[in-house]
């Protein structure tokens, strides 16, 4: 039984690693196909010799069984909206392929070979974001995948939208000839929502690391106390995520000479004589509650990864073909509730992450709050120049959009399909909206990390030297894409460059 993880998805989707089958993988698939072929000859089997959905009450004559599979693919290729980019589309293909390699679907080996041919030749199927209700699987999106496998519709090669037939001919790839239940097998599954979800989590984990880095650097530039992320304080709260985030902050800040020890305040005799202290005794929540806020984000992403990897390695199909049990089982393994719920949760925690970054940004923008930097980190002439005033609007409005998008999709079932699908998952909608929230959050993060680097440039030279090695590393990375701002210049291109860098480059120190 094939087993893959998000690490494999990263290799096949991002790095375009060649997909190589295990020696016995096709034998297992072939055994399942042969069993179904023989088993169905004198029996009524859904989707083999019947119609689909509410039309399952109609038997299909033997001479029309092949047409049945093609009609299913063509009739359900009704997606609309933006097509998935190459990374997401490749992830969808790997997810469908691995589901078939569990050898419980009864598809022909031709389907396996065609999916691998697409992956290894860099052919990107045109799969649209909108269409699936996520209950009989991702019928619409996976129909578009199936349409491309049989040589119809459009695909992308080197980023260019081209007729599928032309691309296959150029690469000497024959059209998939669908057999028995290949059409139904291709579209009865959760592989679109699962493929999207897998990439979302990979990106979300990168984003979380940037949030830890940004939060740590903010603590440095304002010379915060160290006890908010100390081992002792966080150990008494029994949540693994919180403790891991605190540890990551301690690791990041190793070598910093700007972070203050609480002992300094305890021993400050001058401060003890005052009725009103000059410096804050405790930082604002967006500074000192980072482990408590990002901890739940980490825990949520970890569990979501477990669910997605379980789905990747499952047979999310109907019916299930079991040669060992000499039977075919009808049910609902194509229902996407597991993915839908997790993508809702991921969307919510990413929204909270973006809110934390926006509040930290606001802290840097407001001189009355931080008590250290000029308003809007303005290095020019106050009144004449505006510093980061404009970019804050973008971060705030984008965060607000995240808040609007963070409502649950999992609970928004709408009956359809002549009420055959009377409760559905909307899992692909959930995954697509989580993808949008993720994009937005990277945009907010881009602005925030630029602002932190601006603050670093406003430090006194001796203070800048006292930064942790990790803060200096991040500062250097960002400064390759966005420069210190003194005179007012348009910032859109710089934000876009930083966005591209932090999203598409695995986090590095």
φ, ψ for residue 80 (rounded to 5)? -150, 170
Q: Is 46 a catalytic residue?
A: yes
Count CA atoms within 13 Å of residue 140 on its CB side: 18
- Per-state percent for the chain, helix, strand, coil, to nearest 5: 60, 5, 35
Tokens of 456: 């670093």
E strand residue ranges, 15-142 = 80-83, 123-125, 128-130
Q: Provide CB contacts within 8 A for 289, sequence distance 6+.
A: 228
Longest dimension (CA), the chain: 97
Return the sign of the alpha-carbon dihedral for residues 427, 428, 433, 437: positive
Quick one: which H or E segment has residue 216?
helix 191-221
Q: Write the DSSP assignment of 412-471 as a string of letters.
A: ----BTTTTB-S---HHHHHHHHHHHHHHHHHHHHHHHHHHHHHHHTS-HHHHHTS-HHH
Placement of tokens 């630029």 in the chain: 450
Which residues, including other chains, have CB under 8 Å from residue 489's CB and lie 6 or more apart?
Answer: none
**157 by DSSP, 3-state: which?**
strand
DSSP 8-state class, residue 227: G
Catalytic residue of the set 12, 46, 58, 410? 46
Token pair of 118, please?
A: 């697409």
Residues 6+ apart with CB under 8 A from 118: 93, 124, 125, 148, 149, 155
Confirm if 180 and 36 have CB atoms less than 8 A apart.
yes
Q: Are 168 and 174 in contact (CB under 8 A)?
A: yes
Q: Inter-axis angle of helices 290-312 and 337-365, to 10 degrees?
A: 150
Residue 135: both structure tokens together: 């209950």
Taking the C-alpha atoms of residue 122 and residue 87, their distance in angstroms, rounded to an integer, is 11
Active-site positions?
46
């Amino acid at each position: 039984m094939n087993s893959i993880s998000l690490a494999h998805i990263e290799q096949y989707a991002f790095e375009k690693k060649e997909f190589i089958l295990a020696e016995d993988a096709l034998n297992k698939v072939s055994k399942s196909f042969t069993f179904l072929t023989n088993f169905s000859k004198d029996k009524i089997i859904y989707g083999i010799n019947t119609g689909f959905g509410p039309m399952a009450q109609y038997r299909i004559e033997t001479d029309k069984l092949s047409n049945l599979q093609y009609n299913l693919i063509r009739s359900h290729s009704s997606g609309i909206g933006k097509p998935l980019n190459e990374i997401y589309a490749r992830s969808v293909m790997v997810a469908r392929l691995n589901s078939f390699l569990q050898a419980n679907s009864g598809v022909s080996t031709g389907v396996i070979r065609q999916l691998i041919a697409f992956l290894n030749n860099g052919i990107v199927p045109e799969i649209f974001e909108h269409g699936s209700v996520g209950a009989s699987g991702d019928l619409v999106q996976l129909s578009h995948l199936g349409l491309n496998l049989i040589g119809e519709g459009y695909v992308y090669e080197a980023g260019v939208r081209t007729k599928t037939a032309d691309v296959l001919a150029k690469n000497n790839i024959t059209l998939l000839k669908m057999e028995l239940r290949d059409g139904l097998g291709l579209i009865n599954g959760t592989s679109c929502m699962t493929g999207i979800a897998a990439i979302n989590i990979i990106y979300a984990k990168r984003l979380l690391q940037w949030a830890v880095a940004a939060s740590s650097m903010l603590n440095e530039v304002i010379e915060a106390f160290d006890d908010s992320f100390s081992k002792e304080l966080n150990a008494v709260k029994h949540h693994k995520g919180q403790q891991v985030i605190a540890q990551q902050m301690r690791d990041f800040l190793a070598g910093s000479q700007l972070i203050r020890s609480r002992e300094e305040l305890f021993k400050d005799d001058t401060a003890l004589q005052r009725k009103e202290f000059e410096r804050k005794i405790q930082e604002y929540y967006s500074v000192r509650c980072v482990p408590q806020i990002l901890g739940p984000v980490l825990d949520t992403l970890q569990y979501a990864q477990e669910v997605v990897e379980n789905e990747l390695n499952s047979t999310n199909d109907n019916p299930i073909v079991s040669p060992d049990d000499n039977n075919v089982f009808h049910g609902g393994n194509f229902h996407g509730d597991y993915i839908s719920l997790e993508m809702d949760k991921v969307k919510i925690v990413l929204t909270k992450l973006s809110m934390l970054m926006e509040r930290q940004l606001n802290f840097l923008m407001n001189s009355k709050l931080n008590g250290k930097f000029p308003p809007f980190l303005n290095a020019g002439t106050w009144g004449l120049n505006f510093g980061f005033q404009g970019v804050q609007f973008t971060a705030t409005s984008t965060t607000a959009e995240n808040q609007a998008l963070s409502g649950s999709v999992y609970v928004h079932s709408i009956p359809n399909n002549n009420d055959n699908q009377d409760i559905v998952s909307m899992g692909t909608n959930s995954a697509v909206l989580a993808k949008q929230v993720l994009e937005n959050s990277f945009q907010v993060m881009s602005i925030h990390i630029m602002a932190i680097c601006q603050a670093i440039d406003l430090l006194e030279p001796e203070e800048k030297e006292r930064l942790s090695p990790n803060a200096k590393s991040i500062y250097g990375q960002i400064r390759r894409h966005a420069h210190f701002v003194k005179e007012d210049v348009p910032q859109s291109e710089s934000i876009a460059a930083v966005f591209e860098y932090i999203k598409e480059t695995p986090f590095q120190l």
